[in-house]
Amino acid sequence: MIHDEDQDALAAEYVLGTLDPDERAQTQALISVDAGFAALVCQWERRLGDLHAMVDPIEPPQTTWDKIKARISQVAPAAEVRLPEVPPPPPAPEPAPSPPTGQVIDFNRRLNRWRAATASIGALAAALMVFVALAEFMPDGLPGALRPKVPAARLVAVLQRDELAPAFLLTVDTATRTMTVRRVSAGIEPGYSYELWMVSPRLGTPRSLGLVSNDEFTQRPMLASYDPDTINTATYAVSLEPEGGSKTGAPTGPVLWTGKLVEATP
């Protein structure tokens, strides 16, 4: 029997591409017959896709393509070999996918590899945070192709507890004074609500920015009473509150995730 933790680990390895051919074939068969596991794979694709989307693609310089073409032109073409024509055999019918009931993937054998994959995800998230920090505070420390060319008009905060996948991404558009909260890896807690808070010494006490809905995106205007400096320097936090949110005007449940805004390229 495959436990939930094992299914989550298998889905992550499948998306990362660390499975061997036999394990990948078994996993693809499991995706075709198990809707719950297929949903886990989609969740991991979304998590890693969010991290990947935070880095812009880099176009190789023209000199790189010129060197590749020069090397190709130096390779002599292979002599053409003609083989007698043989009619192709009729294609064999593809077997219908069936549940891998007789083939149980050995999760214990792959435990060390899963730990390495988890460390890789953490390293990727940490590298992205370093890149964002350099782009904001030390742009001259980045290679020329990675330096921001124009001042950014949007601010982004990664709300997380450690270096693994972020729970929420908070985006603030300073031009329209609106904010968008995107759910990344945070689950839905029945009977409870997530509430977003702004924490700043200028405000004295935390100020509620409203509840985070169970949808993928939550968008609302920022309160006009907050000046740009307070918005830019505040810490943003998400707490777990009773359904409907805090009744006291302050966080009453545990504060699960925090983050600060940094400028992001459009």
CATH number assigned to the domain comprising residue 252: 2.60.40
- Give me the mean pLDDT over the 206-211 stretch: 93
- Other C-beta atoms closer than 10 Å to the C-beta of 220 total 14
Task: Please answer whether residues 159 and 172 qualify as being in contact, where contact means their C-beta atoms are separated by less than 8 angstroms.
Answer: no
Q: Is the pTM of this model over 0.85?
A: no
Q: Select from 262, 165, 179 the least CA-distant residue to 224.
A: 179
Q: What is the model's pLDDT at position 168?
A: 92
Q: Final residue of a domain: which of 131, 146, 161?
A: 146
- The last residue of one of the domains, among 96, 126, 146, is 146
Q: In this predicted structure, what is the pLDDT of residue 67?
A: 80
Mean pLDDT of the chain: 76
Q: Which of 61-75, 78-92, 110-124, 236-250 has the highest mean pLDDT?
A: 236-250
Q: If you average pLDDT over residues 102-112, what whole number do you get?
A: 52
Of the two residues 110 and 176, the one the predictor is more confident about is: 176
Per-residue pLDDT tens digits for 141-194: 555 555 555 454 578 999 988 766 789 999 988 777 789 999 998 888 999 999
Angle at 144 between CA 140 and CA 147, to 5 degrees: 60
Which pLDDT score is estimated for 152? 44
Please report the pLDDT score of residue 195 as a whole number: 96
> Which residue has better confidence, 219 or 109?
219
Rg over alpha carbons for the chain, rounded to the nearest Å, is 25
Give me the pLDDT at residue 2, please. 46
Residue 77 falls within a domain, yes or no?
A: no
Report pLDDT for 180: 92
Same domain, 141 and 11: yes
Do both 122 and 24 map to the same domain? yes
Top pLDDT among 116 and 29 is at 29
| Domain total in the chain | 2
Same-domain check for residues 139 and 52:
yes
Q: Which domain holds residue 141?
A: 1-56+105-146
Q: Are residues 171 and 244 in the same domain?
A: yes
Average the pLDDT over 111-136 and give the result.
Answer: 60
Last residue of some domain: 113, 146, 179?
Answer: 146
Does residue 80 register a pLDDT over 70? Answer: no
Q: Is residue 169 part of a domain?
A: yes
Angle 118-135-54 (CA atoms, 0-180°, nearest 5)? 45
Pair 216, 154 in one domain: yes
What is the tens place of the pLDDT at every residue in 26-72? Answer: 899 889 998 988 998 998 888 777 665 565 566 777 787 788 888 78
33/158 same-domain check: no
Question: Residue 227: its pLDDT value, please?
Answer: 86
Per-residue pLDDT, 248: 92
